[in-house]
């Protein structure tokens, strides 16, 4: 379904009163929104794939204004403190820790007096490195080679002649690596880097708006401004693919770094990727053991007082969401 058809279709549902009816139906519940990045302006037309989970500052502010007209702002502690009232509320969350969160999201949150939760990948703070998932995409997008050989479940030769072929290769390889054991992921990435060695794997000056992570100074400023800094693990692995010792280390190290750097307790986290297969009861037990009070998934949609505090649900927000589509997503239509 193209963007115009979506806009017309979801606008029509709103005019028919569907969303108002659904908000009444779910008025005792809360919705948490997942953002990843905020850009000053719309990216170039050929950038849809790499910017798909980002929004513009204009979109973000429009969405905040919409939320404040329809819902009640919540704070992180409302999700884990006894007696927290979630009814009719919303919470803004960000995953990963990109610098554009500090540059473009923070001023808007401060303007409207809102608290967001920023879940950061601590290994990447104060570096010019890429997330491992984006290393895959970057290698395939930037290389001058016409193909790449990768062994997934079986050997694959991915053609890279056209942008659509590069996107297909990225999706297929990342899908495999997200459920592969850590060592296997490292092997495949190492093999790709060796083949596609013409691609630099540090953030270049012209890429900073999209890919650069915050500095610890910026993280501390966010915390001083009343924003919550939570863990998104240390290196962004799919936790269910790790040994218990590795998983515990990811959760412990990230929490310790955040607390050391901000001087504030780290009580919240979000699971990388966040689908149900990406974490297990092992991680829930470890989070409780380490003193985390709640954790967010990427499983939609609503949260209530009965929702498992270590499996809180969120709605992912993306670049191509017009306001009618955004409203539909919040109401559970998507």
* 162-198 tens-digit pLDDT: 999 999 999 999 999 998 988 999 999 999 999 999 9
% of the chain exceeding 90 in pLDDT: 81
Q: At what angle do helices 3-15 and 323-330 cross, to 10 degrees?
A: 60
One domain, residues 69 and 190: no
Task: Report the domain count for the chain.
Answer: 2
Residue 141 in any domain: the answer is: yes
Q: Which residues of the chain have pLDDT under 70?
A: 1-23, 25-26, 45-48, 333-334
One domain, residues 317 and 235: yes
175: containing domain = 132-195
Q: What is the pLDDT of residue 173?
A: 97
One domain, residues 138 and 269: no
Q: What is the pLDDT of residue 28?
A: 79
Contact in structure between 169 and 160 (CB atoms under 8 Å): yes
DSSP notation for 231-291: E--SS---GGGS-HHHHHHHHHHHHHHHHHHHSS---EEE-SS--GGG--HHHHHHHHHHT
Q: Which run of H or E residues covers position 30?
A: strand 30-35
One domain, residues 121 and 224: yes
Helix segments in the chain, DSSP class H: 3-15, 18-25, 57-70, 99-100, 106-111, 132-142, 163-179, 182-195, 208-211, 216-224, 244-262, 281-290, 323-330
- Report the SS3 class of residue 225: coil
One domain, residues 216 and 316: yes
CATH number for the domain harbouring residue 20 = 3.20.20.370
Find, among 209, 130, 141, 201, the residue nearest to 171 by Cα.
141
Final residue in a domain of this structure, among 195, 220, 240: 195
One domain, residues 117 and 237: yes
Q: What is the pLDDT of residue 59?
A: 96
Contact in structure between 313 and 297 (CB atoms under 8 Å): yes
One domain, residues 217 and 310: yes
Which residue has 């297929």 as its token pair?
172
CA distance 153 to 109: 44
Contact in structure between 288 and 251 (CB atoms under 8 Å): no
One domain, residues 178 and 269: no
Residue 204 in any domain: the answer is: no
CA distance 167 to 171: 6
Residue 201 in any domain: the answer is: no
Q: What is the pLDDT of residue 286?
A: 99
One domain, residues 166 and 217: no
Give the number of other Cβ atoms within 10 Å of residue 18's Cβ.
16
Q: What is the pLDDT of residue 84?
A: 83
One domain, residues 319 and 174: no
Q: What is the pLDDT of residue 242?
A: 95
Residue 110 in any domain: the answer is: yes
Q: What is the pLDDT of residue 5?
A: 53
CA distance 246 to 318: 31
- 42: tokens are 């719309």
Residue 315 in any domain: the answer is: yes
Contact in structure between 31 and 330 (CB atoms under 8 Å): yes
Q: For residue 54, what are the contacts with CB-CB under 8 A and spacing of at least 6?
A: 36, 37, 38, 39, 43, 100, 210, 318, 319
Q: What is the pLDDT of residue 12?
A: 61
Q: What is the pLDDT of residue 302?
A: 94
pLDDT one-digit tens code per residue, 113-153? 999 999 999 999 999 999 999 999 999 999 999 999 999 98
Contact in structure between 212 and 201 (CB atoms under 8 Å): no
One domain, residues 189 and 264: no
Q: At what angle do helices 163-179 and 132-142 cross, to 10 degrees?
A: 150
One domain, residues 229 and 190: no
């Amino acid at each position: 379904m193209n963007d115009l058809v979506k806009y017309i279709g979801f606008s029509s549902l709103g005019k028919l009163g569907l969303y108002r009816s659904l908000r009444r139906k779910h008025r005792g519940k809360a919705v948490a929104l997942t953002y990843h990045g905020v850009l000053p302006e719309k990216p170039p037309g050929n950038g849809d794939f790499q910017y798909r989970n980002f929004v513009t500052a204009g979109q973000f502010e429009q969405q905040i204004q919409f939320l404040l007209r329809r819902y009640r702002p919540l704070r992180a502690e409302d999700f884990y403190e006894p007696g927290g009232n979630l009814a009719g509320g919303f919470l803004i969350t960000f995953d990963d820790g990109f610098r554009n969160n500090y540059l473009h999201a923070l001023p808007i949150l401060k303007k409207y007096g809102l608290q967001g939760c920023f879940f950061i990948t601590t290994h990447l703070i104060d570096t010019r490195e890429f997330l491992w998932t984006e290393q895959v995409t970057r290698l395939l997008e930037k290389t001058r080679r016409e193909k790449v050989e990768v062994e997934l479940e079986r050997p694959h030769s991915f053609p890279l002649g056209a942008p659509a072929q590069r996107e297909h290769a990225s999706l297929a390889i990342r899908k495999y690596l997200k459920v592969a054991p850590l060592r296997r992921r490292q092997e495949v990435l190492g093999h790709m880097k060796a083949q596609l060695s013409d691609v630099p794997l540090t953030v270049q000056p012209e890429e900073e708006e999209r890919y650069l992570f915050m500095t610890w100074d910026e993280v501390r400023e966010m915390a001083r401004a009343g924003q919550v800094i939570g863990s998104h693990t240390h290196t962004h692995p799919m936790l269910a693919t790790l040994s218990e010792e590795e998983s515990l280390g990811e959760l412990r190290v990230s929490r310790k770094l955040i607390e050391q750097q901000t001087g504030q307790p780290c009580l919240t986290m979000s699971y990388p990727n966040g689908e149900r297969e990406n974490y297990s009861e092992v991680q829930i037990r470890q989070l409780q053991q380490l003193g985390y009070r709640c954790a967010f998934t990427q499983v939609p949609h609503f949260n209530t007082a009965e929702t498992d505090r270590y499996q809180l649900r969120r709605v992912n927000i993306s670049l191509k969401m017009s306001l009618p589509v955004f409203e539909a997503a919040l109401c559970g239509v998507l």
